[in-house]
């Protein structure tokens, strides 16, 4: 059984109301609960039946919803952190993008795509190459064999309460709340 992690340390984060964060935590807790429920239900249904097949598909949705939220909240902080331009992370960005500014522009542009989903800086576990990717609906668009380095939720529930349809304002607030130490620690030394 999976247990929801406590992210209340984020309450008081500039640019994110406590109401929005508490609502978002509750949504995340639902993914944890549903991951457990689907996992248990799978044990009670005959393999290969339509019900089993649908639960197998649903498991990926709930699991990814749980883990992506954990990665998202995990790479946020209410402390003011500045990207160390001499860090391993910054050096890796420079190897893969023209500059830190070019990477940030591409990441934000990815987060500005029309639709709901996630923006993820992913690292190919085999080559170490970095990519900004769009993940749609939790379970569609992940790069197989890649790790999530930086995760940003761009479903409306992540920003609409505070920003309405002004996604760019949310992106700016998120950028100020990134915990660069966590992001740096997720980078593999491939």
More confident residue, 137 or 169: 169
Mean pLDDT calculated for residue range 146-154:
96
Cβ atoms of 14 and 78 closer than 8 Å = yes
CA dihedral 135, 113, 173, 62 (to 10 degrees): -30
DSSP of 76-117, one letter per residue? Answer: B-SS-----TTSHHHHHHHHHSS-HHHHHHHHHHHHTSSSS-
Q: CA 25, CA 20: separation in Å to the nearest integer?
A: 9
Take residue 3 and report the two structure tokens written for it.
């247990």
Q: What is the model's pLDDT at position 189?
A: 63
pLDDT band at 90 (very low <50, low <70, confident <90, very high): very high
| CA distance linking residue 147 with residue 73, whole number of Å | 16
pLDDT computed for residue 146 by the predictor: 92
Whether residue 145 has pLDDT greater than 90: no
Taking only the tens place, the pLDDT of each residue in 56-71 is 999 999 999 999 999 9
The whole-number average pLDDT for the span 113-126 is 95
Our CA angle for 141, 81, 173, nearest 5°, is 55
Residue 132 β-bridge partners = 121
Does 12 score more than 90 pLDDT? yes
Instruction: Give the separation between CA 14 and CA 190, rounded to whole angstroms.
Output: 35
Check if the beta carbon of residue 50 is closer than 8 Å to that of residue 57: no
Alpha-carbon radius of gyration of the chain: 17
Q: How far is CA 115 from CA 15, 62, 130, 152, in A?
A: 22, 19, 23, 14
């Amino acid at each position: 059984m999976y247990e929801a992690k406590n992210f209340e340390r984020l309450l008081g984060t500039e640019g994110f109301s406590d109401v929005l964060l508490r609502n978002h935590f509750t949504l995340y807790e639902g993914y944890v609960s549903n991951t457990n429920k689907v996992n248990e239900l799978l044990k009670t249904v005959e393999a290969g039946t339509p019900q089993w097949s649908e639960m197998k598909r649903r498991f990926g949705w709930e699991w990814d919803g749980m883990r992506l939220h954990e990665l998202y909240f995990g790479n946020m902080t209410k402390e003011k952190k500045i990207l160390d331009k001499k860090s391993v992370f910054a050096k890796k960005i420079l190897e893969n993008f023209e500059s830190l500014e070019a990477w940030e522009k591409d990441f934000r542009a990815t987060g500005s795509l029309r639709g709901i989903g996630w923006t993820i800086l992913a690292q190919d576990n085999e080559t170490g190459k970095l990519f900004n990717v769009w993940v749609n609906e939790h379970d569609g668009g992940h790069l197989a064999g890649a790790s999530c380095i930086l995760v940003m939720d761009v479903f409306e529930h992540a920003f609409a309460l505070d920003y309405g349809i002004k996604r760019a304002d949310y992106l700016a607030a998120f950028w100020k709340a990134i915990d660069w130490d966590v992001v740096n620690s997720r980078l593999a030394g491939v």
